[in-house]
Amino acid sequence: MKKLLLYIVSALFLTVSCTDMDLSPKNMVTDDDLLSNQAGMSIYMATLYSKMPWEDFKYMAQWGITYNGWLASLGIAGTGDALDRDGVCTSFTGESTPYWTGAFELLRNANHLLGTLPDYRGNYAEVAYNEFLGQAYFVRAYVFYQMARRFGGIPLVTREIDYPSESDSLEVPRSSEKDTWDQILSDFDKASELLPETPTFSGTANKYAALAFKAEAMLYAGSVAKYNETVPGRLTGLGAKTGVRVIGFASDEWQACSNKYFSEAYKAAREVMKSGKYSLYKKYWAANDAEAQYKNMVAMWKDLTSPEDIMVRQYEYPTLTHGLDAYCSPFIFRAPLCSGSCPTLDFIEMFDGFDRYSDGYTIRVTDGNSNSDGNYLLYDSPMDLFANAEPRLRAYVIFPGDVFKSKTIEIRGGIYTGSAPVKPLLNDYSYAAASTKYQNLDIYTGANGTAKTLYLSPNSGTNQETVTVNGVKMNAAGANGPFYDNGEGNLTGLYLRKYLDEDLAAEDIGEGKSSQPFILMRYADVLLAAAESGVELSIAGVSSPVEGDDMLKVATTAINDIRERAGAVLLTSSLSADNDSRDIVRKERRKELAFEHKTKWDLRRWRVLDENNRNGFWGEQRDASKYSSGVNFRFKGLYPFYSSETGKYFFDESYQWVSMKTFSYNVVDYYFGIPGGEVSKSSYIDQQPNR
């Protein structure tokens, strides 16, 4: 399909008429050329899929769907998974390129196929004919879905129209949010009914891809219908131009809609599960072997034979590539950039294998009652802190002192030359004191008569501070930082590992040189959809939509299957019909699907980003005051320091102190604003009621 794209002309879908000639111009491609034969259909499919609004390596949340992988990073959209140094690291409150015009252009092409292919029905066997229609329904459903989770109710263009139209106005008003999700449901159902198990063209959807994305979309719809009710004042409203409920659901319909959509999500997920076509990737997995479990999850991201993959975006060097390795590899591999996704302490606190303070989630770094109390715990190597960490976490995150591309990744916040025991470096670790930086401390500056006992480095250049230990000169910040004046080094004490290509030679890292695939939909996502929708339906008191299913048993088994593969602690009792069990599923989803462009949407649909609901931000109840204040919130790093007096390492938990990223989120941000130009030029398109 990638090669076929090279032959596509810009006027691919225009049918041409000419008043003075009987023949179409020779440089134009007509419906007869494309829709009458399988070779032409391969070009049509390639063009449809080349413009699909996938969120993969070529997607950046702040910029939107631009098909441009410049500075591409993962997990930096205010989800807390990771931080980046650049302005692209920001809350997901909108996109600089709204997904609007491009959506209607793709919808026109899908609708053209739906409307015109029946004219050529006799040219195809029934199976092929149905498949091509199914592809059009799948494309339309997915485009509507991408728009709906951004804007709520949208113009449901289900016929071919020109966009932009000659009147410079799209003469289709926004439908209600309910009608929008109902249309998405209908289109995914038609797609799954028509598509075969094995598609004709590689890279296109099959029956189970349609079902899996249906499950994901219906989870979003069910969550919005239910959790809009938890937002102060109810998150709903009518369009000023049409009086249509363009966001949210009416008070007498939200509960029935929520139950309906969660039921549809459950049914779709269970159909995929019962097919037996997919399974969790365990090619290198072994029970009770953390090393094998870690290596198994590292391998799964590149293995195109994986039985877990349902929909994959493939790349191929040198014709179709991306730049993840160039932008997100550790500092020592910069080519020319690096460090684009630095996981946070808050993120790794979700995972098993660490000693905790009494709050149940904060990782213990001192022998006291909190990270500001007692003395630091000392380790021979930074890796010792992670000795019992969940293997899945190690597959997602490069720990300080771990090996990547045959190199030990040296990460160091600084060197402390004072005596032991070592007391906490800061007096106050609260959110209110988050702006306190190590480089401002008297023990670093030597101010106020204090001896200098802390050594840091502003950057990686000639002014790296050094300390001589046992006759050996050590750089204060090590090889990768953090460097407090250089955001291109490590930011949080941790690096991304997930999706980086460990087999790519260091000298081959560069912009536009990466070719590992991006998994758009996988079986673990389906298991999580079944678990979440099953628990939600159980809470609502709804019977299983799949005859014979015990939904809570299905949910429990799904979570334990994922945890077993991950090397995590298994559930010892069944999930229940309550919010505690719901949160167990949410937390598992956050862990398993991290850095896959899923979390930012989950946080939005759960409505846990605004200050009134942020205790559920991590899929568990945490004290939000520790990382937020009102609409604002920040995230922490886990920084290893070397104690020259003891020859050991200790860790400090501190708000990220290089770029000082602060995020914010208001209730209004759960729906993006409609592009202003579309509203101003149209008699039908409404702006959001709350803008």
Residue pLDDT, tens place only, 139-150: 999 999 999 999
* Nearest Cα residue to 255 out of 239, 270, 234, 269: 234
Give a yes or no: residue 27 inside a domain: no
Question: In this predicted structure, what is the pLDDT of residue 233?
Answer: 83
* Nearest Cα residue to 38 out of 199, 188, 187: 199
Q: Which two tokens stand for residue 426?
A: 């800061």
- State the Cα–Cα distance between residues 57 and 324, nearest whole angstrom: 7
What phi-psi label fits residue 116: left (phi over 0), alpha (psi between -120 and 50 degrees) or beta? alpha
- The radius of gyration of the chain's CA atoms, rounded to the nearest angstrom, is 27
Confidence of residue 6 (pLDDT cuts 50, 70, 90): very low
Mean per-residue pLDDT, 434-449: 94
Mean per-residue pLDDT, 129-155: 98
Question: In this predicted structure, what is the pLDDT of residue 166?
Answer: 55
Element (H, E) at 629: strand 628-629
Question: In this predicted structure, what is the pLDDT of residue 254?
Answer: 98
Report whether pLDDT(349) > 90. Answer: yes
Give a yes or no: residue 608 inside a domain: yes
| 321 residue type, one letter | T
Task: Confirm if 551 and 270 have CB atoms less than 8 A apart.
Answer: no
Report whether pLDDT(653) > 60. Answer: yes
Task: Confirm if 265 and 218 have CB atoms less than 8 A apart.
Answer: yes
Domain that holds residue 605: 522-623
Task: Confirm if 214 and 268 have CB atoms less than 8 A apart.
Answer: yes
Omega of the bond leading into 164 within 30 degrees of 0 (cis)? yes
Give a yes or no: residue 594 inside a domain: yes
What's the pLDDT tens digit per position in 219-249? 999 999 999 999 988 999 999 999 999 999 9
Give a yes or no: residue 114 inside a domain: no
- State the Cα–Cα distance between residues 283 and 296, nearest whole angstrom: 7
What's the pLDDT tens digit per position in 262-298? 999 999 999 999 999 999 999 999 999 999 999 999 9
pTM of the complete model beyond 0.75 = yes
Give a yes or no: residue 619 inside a domain: yes
Question: In this predicted structure, what is the pLDDT of residue 170?
Answer: 54
Q: Which two tokens stand for residue 334?
A: 């910069």
Confidence of residue 25 (pLDDT cuts 50, 70, 90): low
Q: Which residues contact 423 (CB under 8 A, 6 or more apart)?
A: 375, 376
- State the Cα–Cα distance between residues 475 and 136, nearest whole angstrom: 58
Q: Which two tokens stand for residue 124?
A: 């195809």
3-state SS, residue 590 = helix
Q: Which two tokens stand for residue 312?
A: 């994959």
Q: Percent of the chain beyond pLDDT 90?
A: 89
- In DSSP terms, 83 is beta-bridged to 342
Mean per-residue pLDDT, 344-363: 97
Q: Percent of the chain beyond pLDDT 70?
A: 95
- State the Cα–Cα distance between residues 600 and 610, nearest whole angstrom: 13
Report whether pLDDT(362) > 70. Answer: yes
The tally of domains found in the chain comes to 1
* Nearest Cα residue to 641 out of 397, 357, 443, 407: 443
- Phi/psi of residue 311, nearest 5 degrees: -145, 125
Mean per-residue pLDDT, 362-372: 97
Give a yes or no: residue 264 inside a domain: no
Mean per-residue pLDDT, 410-435: 95
Alpha carbon 184 to chain centroid distance?
A: 21
Mean per-residue pLDDT, 44-72: 95
Report whether pLDDT(162) > 70. Answer: no
Confidence of residue 171 (pLDDT cuts 50, 70, 90): confident
Looking up tokens 């879908």 gives 13
What's the pLDDT tens digit per position in 76-115? 999 999 999 878 999 999 999 999 999 999 999 999 999 9
Give a yes or no: residue 656 inside a domain: no
Element (H, E) at 297: helix 290-299
Mean per-residue pLDDT, 313-319: 95
- Average pLDDT for the chain: 93
Mean per-residue pLDDT, 536-545: 98
Give a yes or no: residue 600 inside a domain: yes
* Nearest Cα residue to 47 out of 14, 8, 15: 8
